[in-house]
Structures are given as structure tokens and as C-alpha cells.
Amino acid sequence: MTSSPPRKPRCARFSPQGAKKHLGRPGVFLERAYVALGSNLGDPQATVQAALAALNDLPRSSIIAVSSLYLSAPVGLRNQPDFVNAVAALDTHLSADALLEELFAIEARFGRRREFHHAPRTLDLDLLLYGDETRGAARLTLPHPRMHERAFVLLPLVEIAPDAVIPGHGPAAALLEDVRDQSLTRLEPVLAGKTA
């Protein structure tokens, strides 16, 4: 175990994926979300660590678990540096749309340029799961449309949430077999967190 981002007090008890807790104010629910982090420019490891701290600082949200860091070969455009990847579990009172906006804001703060699909990036944050919500809008598709076929998402996700279920695809752990041939190296644990 190494250093951990600053922890904020938990505002409700941990609940299984998809469970909603009403916290007294109408319309305000606690939701479990999973966010994938990826970086392959500059100092990717430091970027991912700093992005985890930024996620933990999001309003009305707390990180409850963080995977190890993993090194993955780039997908799509191959002639670029390897990526550092991780997955974080968040408990949040933000809506899925509001959370995505916050993720975009963090990406922008880290100097991300959206040049083209699969381009190298300082920081990529993807909303993998938001409870068990499904939607197909281009701006926000849930679950993330490619998460089920990416080892660099599935392995860190299963590390922190062995029972995670991807709506429409089933248990994440069962999908690992199909991505065995994708190159992935576990770097180090980032944060002591409870597994979901």
C-alpha cells in the first residue's frame, strides 16, 4: 500500500452496486459509480495519482476504492506510448450527467486536448457504470460502450469490485477470459480501499 488521496467523511453506508439510498432530501440518492482513468503523455503515473485526488475532491462524492495502476498497450493507434490505467469506485450524489461534466472538467484541468479518437492524451476519464443505469445517448452511453472488451478496464474493475455486473453483458469477471490476449501489466496498488 502506498499513499492515499485525502479521504472525506463518508456520508452514508457502503451499499452494493446499484442500490439506491434515500438520504432525507427528496430526489437525492447515493449512487455507486465506476470511473476509468487513462494517461499516456507526460508523467502518466503522476497524472493518474493526481486525477484520483481530484476525483476524491468532487462535490457530493467520495472515492471508496481504487485499483492498482496498470500499464497497457494503446488500442487503435498503436504508434504511441503505453497507457497507465486505473479504475476508481465513487459514491456520489451527483447525477450521471453532472458527474460526466465534472470528469470533463478534470480532464480539461489536466490539459487534455481532444484531437481525434484514440489520440494520445494527458488524461482520459470514462464513466464506466452509474449504478445499474443504461442509456444510449452519444454524449453519455451507460454502461460505457467499450468497457466490456477492454482488459485495462475489466481487470482493475474486477480487482476492486469482483461482483460487478455490466448491464447487457453480465458479470465483469466472466468477461476477463475474452480479453486474455490483451497486454496488461499490474504496476502497484494505489490506495488501501475496501473492495466492493
- Contact set with ligand ADP (CB under 6 A): 114, 124, 126-127, 139-142, 144
Position of cell 452519444? 138
Catalytic residue among 32, 91, 121, 150: 121
The active-site residue out of 32, 91, 126, 150 is 126
| b/e map 112-122, b = 16+ CB within 10 Å | beeeeeebbbb
Q: Where on the phi/psi map is residue 123: left (φ > 0), alpha (ψ -120 to 50), or beta?
A: beta
Work out whether 126 is an interface residue with Mg ion (CB under 5 A): yes
Cβ closest to ligand ADP, residue 8 vs residue 135: 135
C-alpha cell at 155: 481487470
43 annotated active-site: no
| Residue from 43, 57, 91, 112 carrying the catalytic annotation | 112
Q: Give min distance, CB of 4 to Mg ion, in A.
A: 25
Q: Binding of Mg ion at residue 91 (CB under 5 A)?
A: no
Name which of 89 and 142 has its Cβ closer to ligand ADP. 142
Told to judge if 124 belongs to the known catalytic residues of this protein, a careful annotator would answer yes
Minimum CB distance to ligand ADP smaller for 13 or for 117: 117
Least Å distance between CB 26 and Mg ion?
33
In sequence order, what are the residues at sequence separation of 6 or more whose Cβ sits closer than 8 angstroms to the Cβ of residue 47? 39, 84, 110, 122, 123
8 makes contact, choosing from ligand ADP, Mg ion, none, with CB < 5 to 8 Å by partner type, with: none
Indicate which of Mg ion, ligand ADP, none lies near residue 50 (CB less than 5 to 8 Å, by partner kind). Answer: none
181 is catalytic: no
Place of cell 451527483: 94
Cell 490483451: give the residue. Answer: 182
DSSP letter for each residue of 104-143 = HHHHHHTT----STT---S-EEEEEEETT--EE-SS-EES
Regarding 124 and contact with Mg ion (CB under 5 A), the answer is: yes
In angstroms, the Cα distances linking 64 to 2, 10, 51 are 16, 9, 15
User: Can 178 be counted among the known catalytic residues?
Assistant: no
The residues annotated as belonging to the active site are 112, 121, 124, 126
